[in-house]
Structure 1
């Protein structure tokens, strides 16, 4: 079984990166879905990171891929999905990239949704939640191809 710790949209609040690292020290993988607005990329050391729409000056990729226990994962910030037909666009990106799981941020609203054989995951925002959600990050466990998602509220 592998543990994947996922965060997004801390918008310059480095203490949230430290908080997640401190509370999830046993992660096998750490993912940041963008809009870290990190002033120094060393704070994201150990994370698989993608560039968010507010990470103008950061030299990060727009997307990343990861395979964990045979499960293929596509990581992006999510600003290109728009708000109309969002799930259709997410389904398309997974299909084109031969992936099963999409991990993204941008909306600041947590999501764990299964659509056929696809999974859509958003950890929410650690600093600026929207839609009535709490400040959060996520933990995803993958065990022999089975996914177990846990949303973690920031207790700070």
Structure 2
């Protein structure tokens, strides 16, 4: 099973549609970690499971959600309510509380993946305003039993093979 994870697109419309067209046949679930700045009724948001970020002013998105796929529980939030710019501790406590295997978040615009206390944290970076890297990134997570693989893509250049990671949970 494959999950596309994107965040912090800050008003981009056509790019979110391009991601669905580009990966729609290979991806089983599309997640947006907030700050789309788009209305939930916007056509391009159809098919994305989305949470509300600090720059999303419409309250139709939840602040967090849990998705289960391929036997793994994914906790999805933007991150601003958990102070992710300074520490993952609050988010770790929440992920443990809801028994999540994976925690997806954005907010900082920094791409990163790491396992802490048996929880895989994924921040796909930012599609519009990346920090720490030049690439406008998103992540495709592959779940196969206890093996998880993350592949990072630049919106313009495609797969960045040097950033591929494998994790075991």
Question: 1:47 aligns to what?
Answer: 48
Three-state SS of the structure 1 residue aligned to 2:115 is strand
- Contact kept, 8 Å, 1:9 with 1:106, in 2: the verdict is yes
Q: How many pairs align?
A: 154
Three-state SS of the structure 1 residue aligned to 2:14 is helix
Question: 2:104 aligns to what?
Answer: 103
Indicate the structure whose relative CO is greater, using CA pairs within 8 Å and at least 6 residues apart: 1
Q: CA deviation at 1:80?
A: 1.6
Q: CA deviation at 1:98?
A: 1.1
Question: 119-128 or 19-28, which moves further after superposition?
Answer: 19-28
Length-normalised TM-score, structure 1:
0.92
- Contact kept, 8 Å, 2:14 with 2:44, in 1: the verdict is no
Length-normalised TM-score, structure 2:
0.85
Distance 1:107 1:20 in 2: 21
Distance 1:136 1:58 in 2: 26
Three-state SS of the structure 2 residue aligned to 1:132 is coil
Q: CA deviation at 1:96?
A: 1.1
Distance 1:55 1:7 in 2: 15
Distance 2:3 2:146 in 1: 13
Q: CA deviation at 1:20?
A: 1.1
Question: 2:60 aligns to what?
Answer: 59
Q: Which runs of 4+ in 1 moved over 6 A?
A: none
Question: 5 Å matches for 1:6-155?
Answer: 6-26=5-25, 27-39=27-39, 40-82=41-83, 83-84=85-86, 86-155=87-156
Three-state SS of the structure 2 residue aligned to 1:130 is coil
Distance 1:72 1:30 in 2: 15
- Contact kept, 8 Å, 1:109 with 1:133, in 2: the verdict is no
Three-state SS of the structure 1 residue aligned to 2:88 is helix
Distance 1:41 1:78 in 2: 23
Q: CA deviation at 1:41?
A: 3.0
Instruction: Give the unaligned 5+ runs of structure 1.
Output: none
Change beyond 3 A, Cα 1:77–1:30: same
